[in-house]
Amino acid sequence: MSTEQFDQYVTGMFANETVQPPADAEDALFQRMNKMRKRKRQIQAMGAAVVICVGVFIGAHVAGDPKNAAENSTDGSRAIVPSTAITATDKTESVPQKEDVSQPMSTTAESMETFEPSNLEPNPTVVSEPSSEGNDFSIQVEANLKEKRSPMHQIDALPARTAAYDSGLRSLQAPEEETWVLPAVVKVKD
């Protein structure tokens, strides 16, 4: 007998072999399946709850952060912002305002020729800055303004030659329509 014949003999013997399982096997299987499915549903529900809790926690944490609160307030999506956050934001915004004011003041003081009295109107935002905050910025600004209110004093302090030269030069360059009032210093040479 060849191996192929032997294989066919055995295969034919066991082909479509069926054995009836025990009667309680079906119920045991489906009870186990139900338990597994129930447990799976519970795990899924717990997972969803954990995700929601983490989301709420992160949301609350982000809302408590002043920087984020300030950023979010611009788009109007966040209605409630803590008062501490607002105060902090105002303070941070006031710092560059001081810098913006002081920078043109200093340049104006240096170039006294283009000075006009109308520019001497004090900036209400700067003047009304409360001095109680512990900085002397407003005092410094007021001092600068006082200096600007007495231009003659400033010009007197300049070297005489330079002032005369500059004033003459500028009077030549000035357009005809405009009337220039220039200080004049005359020096007599021997």
The distance from CA 34 to its chain's CA centroid, rounded to whole angstroms, is 54
State whether residue 171 is helix, strand or coil: helix
Round to whole Å and give the CA distance between 49 and 66: 28
| Residues in binding contact with other proteins, number by CB under 8 A | 25
Q: What x-and-dash track marks residues 18-57 binding other proteins by CB under 8 A?
A: xxxxx--xx-xxx-xx--x---------------------
Q: 115 phi and psi, to 5 degrees?
A: -75, 135
* Cα–Cα distance measured from residue 182 to residue 175, given in angstroms and rounded to the nearest whole number: 14
**Residue 13 interacts with other proteins (CB under 8 A)?**
yes
Stretch that binds other proteins, among 7-15, 52-60, 103-111, 175-183 (CB under 8 A): 7-15
1 or 95: whose CB is closer to other proteins?
Answer: 1
Stretch touching other proteins by CB under 8 A, among 15-23, 102-110, 133-141, 153-161: 15-23
C-beta of 43: minimal distance to other proteins in Å? 15
Residues 154-183, mask of contacts with other proteins (x by CB under 8 A): ------------------------------
Cα 164 to Cα 82, 107, 113, 148, 149, distances in angstroms: 61, 21, 12, 20, 21
C-alpha distance from residue 74 to each of 65, 67, 77, 78 (Å): 15, 12, 8, 9
Q: Which residues bind other proteins (CB under 8 A)?
A: 1, 3, 5-7, 9-11, 13-14, 16-22, 25-26, 28-30, 32-33, 36
